[in-house]
Structure formats: structure tokens, C-alpha cells
Amino acid sequence: MARYRSFRDLDWSLLIITLIICSLGILQIYSATHDTKWSDAWWKQALWVLVAIGIMWVASSIDYHTLLGQVPVLYVLSIVALLATFAFGKLVFGSRRWISIPGTGFNFQISEFVKLVIILLVARYLSELKREEVGFGDLLKLGVLVGIPTALVMAQPDLGTSLTYLPVLGVGILLAGIRWHYLAAIAVAGGLAVTVGYHFLQDYQKARLISFVDPSQDPRGRGYQVIQSKIAVGDGGMWGRGVTHGTQTQLRFLPVPHTDFIFSAFAEEHGFVVVVVVLGLYFLLLMQIVQNAQMAPDRAGMYICMGVATMLLFHVLINVGMVVGNMPVTGIPLPLMSYGGSNLFSIFIMLGLVNNVRLRRFSS
């Protein structure tokens, strides 16, 4: 592959939007935690954003074709790492998601990085299809390949993160083309799987689904979070209550206002107008990624960009939907805003991959 990389060719609109959203996130983390024991979270997040930019640069530098070539290795590594979390994982809130790096004090959430592997895996598989549609055998293979890590993460248990893998596969298949009767068959199979799977869900996962349908059923558990989040959002009104003046956030009626419910805190303090502006920024970010997909030099690049776009869209839909009570509480963070290094790094690597594709758009 020819080297057409230059600093100028990076997707600067994408980067600027990303950094604006990150800044708003850091501001909101500060506002939500300034008088709590998490009060150092905002500068940690700022530090991680800087590190993430560096990682993104690295991710955009290595030719994505090389990365795709390493998918088997990455995939096996992912499975091994996920299995390792069962053995060495840190138990937090009844779930083993994190692996500590000895001596550093850092905890990595393996399932966050598996997201990248899933994107690359789907991109590679679909780009190597000889036909213009996905066959039954392909569906089966992809189902098994994506299904194994999904099941492992689900078993941690981390229902939310595991569910983020499936849309990438789904959108990929739709893009690649699929016969309608396969689609119908998948829908039926999926419906059956959900019905049967419900019986195998953990109690807390069932409770989340129940509290999603009717939050008032469980006003002091999951339902409590949604109720308080909706109150916080609604309290913001048109113009918000001002930074550090949202009472739901500041008096901590709103749970985890710097991680999963950061957008609720943001909505309370900034109001509807700014919320629409920020959602607009997310939309622009998404469209910028989609544009890179459209201009991708090959199918693999297109699938990578669309995988990233899907991953982002799904995160925003689930997280923001949860904040306004339209989606279940699944523990999915808001990309770029929620406090947390693993998710931030994972997203920035994804954006690095998009740039990676962009930098090589004239290569073929």
C-alpha cells in the first residue's frame, strides 16, 4: 500500500467535534463531582483524553489492512482475555469486567476493547465475501464468531456491553445484502432466543427489563435511577439550571451523574436548547464517520467506518434514551462524555480507525 498519510489529511471536523464533546463531558464531570470524593475525576478524564488522542494517532497510523490481517490473532487474544476476567477479574457490583494491570493501579475493561475486534472481524469477513449477499453459511459463521464473545461478556455479567456487539454485526449484514427470507428467519430466531433467553437472565437483568417497562414498579432500585433521571432532565427546562446548580445532580438525587447518567446531569444544568445542540454535535460526528465510509477506498474500510458509526449510534441511542426513560438501564456509557478511561480509549481507537480509512482513501 502506498503511503498517503499526512497530518493535513486527518478528518479535522471529526476531531474538533470530538474534542468539543469531550470538553463538555469534562465540564460536566467537574460539575457533578466537584464536592464529592470523585472530585479529581475531571482532570483524570482530561488526562485520558490527551492519552486517547495519542492512541488514536497510533490507531490511524497502522494500515487497517494490516490490522485486518491480524484479526485471527486479535480474536483469539480477546477470547483469552475475556476468559481471564473470570479468573482474575475484579469483582465490582457483582460483575467481573475489569482486569487490573499489576503495579499501575489501572483497571481495564476488556469488553470495551473487544468492541474494536468485533468491528474489525465483521469488516474483514464481509469484505471477503465473493457474492453480493450474505449466505446462510455466512450468517451461521458470523453468528458463532460474534456470539462467543457476546456470550462471554453477558456471563460476566454485563448485558449492556454484550448487546453493543450485535448491532455492528446486524448493520454489517444489512449493508452486505441479505435475502428477505433470511432476515425474516433471523427475526423469528431472535424473537425465540429473547423469549427463551429471558429465563436464563440474571435476576438483576430481569429487574432492569421490568423497571424499563414500568419504573414505578421498583422505585428504590433501577426504577429509582430512571425516575430521578427524568426529574433531573425535566428540571432543566429550556435553559437549564446552570453549571453546578442542578439540584438533582448536586444533591445527588441523580445516581452516578458523572458516568452512565452524565447526560441527565448535563440536561439539568444546561437545558433543552444546549441538549439539542450537543445531540446535533453527536449527529454531525456520526455523519462525518458515515461520510468517511462513503469515501472509503474499499469495502473493508467502508465496513470499518460503518461499524464504528453503528457502535456510536447504538451507544448514544441506548444511553441518552435511558436518561429520558425511553430505554432500559443497561449500564452503557455515553461515548466521549461519560467518565471512564476504557470506554474513552475504545472510542478514540475507533475514531482512529475511521481516520485510518480516510488517510488511505486514495490508495487504490
Partner 1 sequence: MSDPERPANESSDRLFRDDTKFALGRIAVFQYAAVAVFLFLIAGFWVLQIRDHEANSTLAERNRIKTVPLLAPRGKILDRDGRVIVDNQPAFVVQLTQENLKPEHLAPIAEGLHLDLDDLRATVKRYAAGKRYSPIPIKRDITPAELTFIDSHRDPGTFPELELVQEPRRLYPQSGLAAHVIGYVGEVSEQELNTSDFASYSQGDLVGKSGLERQYNEILKGVDGQRRVVVDVAGREHQVLESAEATPGQNLQLTIDLDLQAVAEIALEGKKGAVVALDPRDGSVLAMVSRPAFDPNLFAAHIKSADWKALTSNPDNPLLNRAIQAQFAPGSTFKPLVAMAGLESGAIDENYSVRCNGGGTFYGRYFKCWQKGGHGGVSMHAGIVHSCDVYFYTVGNKIGIDGIAEYAEQAGLGKKTGIDLPGEAEGLMPSSKWKLRTQREKWYAGETISVAIGQGYVTVTPIQLASAIGGMANGGVWFKPHLVKMAATADPRRENWNLDNIAKVVSGMYGVVNEGGTGTAAAIPGITVSGKTGSAQRVSNDLRKSGKLEKGELEDNGWFVAFAPRENPEIVIAVLLEGGEHGTLAAPTARDVIKAYFDKKTRLSKLTQQPSLAFIQRPGAPVGPAISSPVASIATSDVTSSSEDH
> Rule CB under 8 A: which residues touch partner 1?
71-72, 75, 121, 124-125, 127-128, 130, 132, 145, 171, 174-177, 219-220, 224, 228, 230-238, 247-248, 250-253, 267, 271-272, 275-276, 279-280, 282-283, 286-287, 290, 293-294, 296, 298-302, 306, 309-310, 313, 316-317, 320-321, 324-326, 364
- Between 4 and 283, CB nearer to partner 1: 283
Cα–Cα dist 57/60, whole Å: 5
- In whole angstroms, the minimum distance from the beta carbon of 302 to partner 1 comes to 4
- Between 57 and 253, CB nearer to partner 1: 253
- In whole angstroms, the minimum distance from the beta carbon of 28 to partner 1 comes to 16
Q: Is 318:335 a contact under the CB 8 Å cutoff?
A: no
Cα Rg of the chain (Å, integer): 20
- Bond preceding residue 157 cis, omega within 30 of 0: yes
Cα–Cα dist 25/58, whole Å: 24
Closest residue by Cα to residue 198 from 189, 209, 188, 187: 209
- In whole angstroms, the minimum distance from the beta carbon of 360 to partner 1 comes to 13
Cβ neighbors of 84 (< 8 A, separation 6 or more) are 99, 110
Q: Is 330:254 a contact under the CB 8 Å cutoff?
A: no
- Between 157 and 321, CB nearer to partner 1: 321
- In whole angstroms, the minimum distance from the beta carbon of 133 to partner 1 comes to 10
- Between 143 and 321, CB nearer to partner 1: 321
- In whole angstroms, the minimum distance from the beta carbon of 134 to partner 1 comes to 12
Cα–Cα dist 49/233, whole Å: 26
- Between 64 and 108, CB nearer to partner 1: 64
Q: Are strands 90-92 and 95-100 parallel, antiparallel or unpaired?
A: antiparallel
- Between 27 and 145, CB nearer to partner 1: 145
Cα–Cα dist 291/296, whole Å: 8
- In whole angstroms, the minimum distance from the beta carbon of 135 to partner 1 comes to 11
CA distances from 321 to 13, 257, 314, 315 (A): 26, 15, 10, 9
Cα–Cα dist 330/159, whole Å: 7
- Between 61 and 216, CB nearer to partner 1: 216
- In whole angstroms, the minimum distance from the beta carbon of 334 to partner 1 comes to 11
